[in-house]
Chain A
Amino acid sequence: MNPDLAQMFAYFLVFIILVFICGLYCLLASFNLIRILIGVEILIKAATLLIILAGYICGASSLAQSIVVTLIVVEIVFMVVAGGIALWAFRHNKTIDPRELSDLKG
């Protein structure tokens, strides 16, 4: 792989890892169920970018695009269902604090 491409790949990779870290941090350190979902979203976006990048470097950009399109569909449905669950949690606990979800212990 020519060094130009490799250089670009390295830059992209660094940024993608940083976005990953942000997303993980948002997921782990938030006190709000909706924000946890936003963290998951950020993680999925980082993965999307990584897949497109891999496709670009490899030349298989059409494969990567079809993967990403399918992935986006999965993401939508997942967010809808997760949002529904979060809303029900709110209805039960009257709060969207994940620290309250500690009924099942042991």
Chain B
Amino acid sequence: MPFLLLVVLNLPFDVFKKRVAFWLTGELLLFQILASGSGYWFPWNICPDRWGIFFGFKLSPDNLSLIMLFTIGLTALVSLLTAAGTLQSEKQRFNFVNLLLIALAGMNTIVLVSDLFSLYLFVEVTALALFILIALDKGKAAIEGTFKYLILSAVAGVFMLTAIAFFLLTCGGVSFNALGAADGGNFFFKLALGLFLCGLLIKSGLVPFHGWLPDAYSSAPASVSVLLAGIVTKISGVYVLLRLYGQVFTVSASLQNTLLTLGGVSIVVGACAALTQDDFKRMLAFSSISQIGYIVLGLGCGTPLGFAGAVFHFFNHAIFKSLLFVNAASLEKQAGTTDMNRLGSFGAKMPLTGLTSLIGLLSTAGVPPLAGFWSKLVIVVALFNAGRFGWASCALLASVLTLAYFLSFERRVFFGKMEPPTAKITKTPGPIAFAEILLAALTLVGGLGFIFIIRSGVWS
């Protein structure tokens, strides 16, 4: 996070060096990925101390935060690559990069803070940067998507603020330490928990609070969709859920049941809605809702295995959903439309995109030996161990649905018959191709190498 400060403060110089901004950001993100990826050896203790004295706060990255930082860095890098391929004008690129940096700073701080109000504040920072990013090209659909996201995010924010007020009342403070030490029997405390949960659910896009998600995802510019789907929704909503309800608060049985129900319903509703879509970005949005339901289902187990499964699925989802959105970006760029009825037989012209999207969707559906299979397996096993057979079978069945709609997408777009207007398509632009290959490789490697990861005891 300190590095981001440096670059963000670098902004005034970029006024005349717009071209360099892109590369600087790319380097920064690579550094972040490397730093958090090797986080177990990296001397995290010395670096925050220096900044801590300057800024007067303490950053304390633990295992969960390091995983999140890695994921954030990766997805932001992919988004940057996509933007390199799709955004053309200098001014747009400059704005995009700056807003991306702000969002990045916000997200990094979200995973690093230990105080509830700072958490809320940086969630709002990230959300604000994203609002502007979604509306970057100011098309009619983009404005509408942004506005819906805006209003619902504001309402979610108000819920969270009210919850913070009640927490302040019952705990005397809003840091994680104070919250964890409070008694859970108080009526206002429970009310605050419930309110905060509602706010988080709106932000993460679980059913029934998912109204804004398909519109925002499908109408955003391509690189912003990658960012939005791959990270922002999940960090603002799901990471906070994982952190608070998994570690800070003691989870009661009714809360577990609520999470399980909402997660399971999200999976099914998301999958069913995705089957009926014509616009492939909207389909991907509903698929995201479905996958986030898996993560919440894993969390609702209440067991450490379930938590580990949720985190792993979080990471996998960032990879494969970003991959799918990157492919969607290249498709959109080449074909000029996102309507699946009018696309077809792209497989011959864009073999790379076809192959990588096949890998991505197989991973989403949970087909071995790709990474998605393992994370779903962990979640299902955790559900079995906890005795929740109903939800486990629901998760398994929903995998079949996932496979169904994705195969339909693949067939229609890549192997179907070609419509005449889309006859003029060329190869994928360079940066996007690189992003696709990177993500697909990660999916493969993650899947095959999962045994080694498990053995090294990362998922504590």
Contact = CB atoms under 8 A, between A and B. Distances in A.
Given A44-B158, A64-B168, A85 B124 contact: no
A51 B163 CA distance: 9
A85 B154 contact: no
Contact of B138 (A51, A58, A67, A88): A88
A2 to B, nearest CB: 15
Given A40-B151, A81-B132, A103 B121 contact: no
Nearest to B129: A81
Contacts, number: 102
A46 B131 CA distance: 24
Contacts of A81: 128, 131-132, 150
A60 B172 contact: yes
B105 interface: no
B213 to A, nearest CB: 11
B210 to A, nearest CB: 13
B140 interface: yes
B161 A71 contact: yes
A10 B449 CA distance: 58
B135 A58 contact: no
B148 interface: yes
B164 interface: yes
Interface string A45-74: 011001101110111100110010011001
Nearest to B118: A70
B121 A51 contact: no
B169 A44 contact: no
Nearest to A81: B131
Interface stretch (B63-71, B214-222, B297-305, B344-352): B214-222
Contacts of A86: 147
Contacts of B155: 27, 40, 43
A50 B169 CA distance: 10
Contacts of A58: 168-169, 172
A9 B282 CA distance: 47
Contact of A85 (B135, B166, B278): B135
27 contacts: A27-B151, A27-B155, A36-B151, A40-B151, A40-B155, A43-B155, A47-B162, A53-B165, A54-B168, A58-B172, A63-B174, A64-B168, A67-B117, A67-B174, A71-B161, A77-B128, A85-B131, A85-B146, A86-B147, A89-B143, A101-B144, A101-B147, A103-B140, A103-B144, A104-B215, A104-B218, A106-B278
Interface of A: 27, 33, 36, 40, 43-44, 46-47, 50-51, 53-55, 57-60, 63-64, 67, 70-71, 74, 77-78, 81-82, 85-86, 88-89, 92-93, 101, 103-104, 106
Interface of B: 117, 121, 124, 128, 131-132, 135, 138, 140-141, 143-148, 150-151, 154-155, 158, 161-162, 164-166, 168-169, 172-174, 214-215, 218-219, 276-279, 282
